[in-house]
Amino acid sequence: MLELSGVDAHYGATQVLRGIDIQVPVSSVVALLGPNGAGKTTLLRVASGLLKPTRGRMSIDGVDVTGAAPHQLVDKGLCLVPEGRGIFGSLTVRENLVLCSRRGGEKEAIERAVDAFPRLGERLDQVSRTMSGGEQQMLALSRAYIQRPRFVLLDEVSMGLAPKIVDEIFEFLARLAQEGTALLLVEQYVTRALAAADYVYLLNRGQVGFAGEPSQLDADALAEHYVGAG
Distance CA 88, CA 60 (A): 29
DSSP string, 62-99: TEE-TT--HHHHHHTTEEEE-TTTT--TTSBHHHHHHH
CB of 228 to ligand ATP, least distance (A): 14
CB atoms within 10 A of CB 209: 17
Q: Based on CB atoms, which residue is closest to ligand ATP, 116 or 190?
A: 190
- Interface with ligand ATP, residue 11, by CB under 6 A: yes
Distance CA 214, CA 230 (A): 23
Contact 153, 47 (CB under 8 A): yes
Binding piece for ligand ATP, criterion CB under 6 A, among 10-18, 107-115, 129-137, 212-220 = 10-18
CB of 138 to ligand ATP, least distance (A): 22
Residues 97-126 that bind ligand ATP (CB under 6 A): none
The interface mask with ligand ATP, positions 144-183, x = CB under 6 A, is: ----------------------------------------
Q: What is the size of the binding site for ligand ATP (CB under 6 A)?
A: 11
CB atoms within 10 A of CB 119: 13
CB of 205 to ligand ATP, least distance (A): 9
Residues 22-61 that bind ligand ATP (CB under 6 A): 34, 36-42
| Options 2, 16, 81, 208; binder of ligand ATP; rule CB under 6 A | 16
Q: Based on CB atoms, which residue is closest to ligand ATP, 40 or 123?
A: 40
Phi-psi map region of 211: left, alpha, beta (phi>0 left; psi -120 to 50 alpha): beta
Q: Using the 8-state DSSP alphabet, how is residue 52 labeled?
A: -
> Which of 75, 158, 90, 180 lies closest to 126 in space, CA to CA?
90
Binding site for ligand ATP (CB under 6 A): 11, 14, 16, 34, 36-42
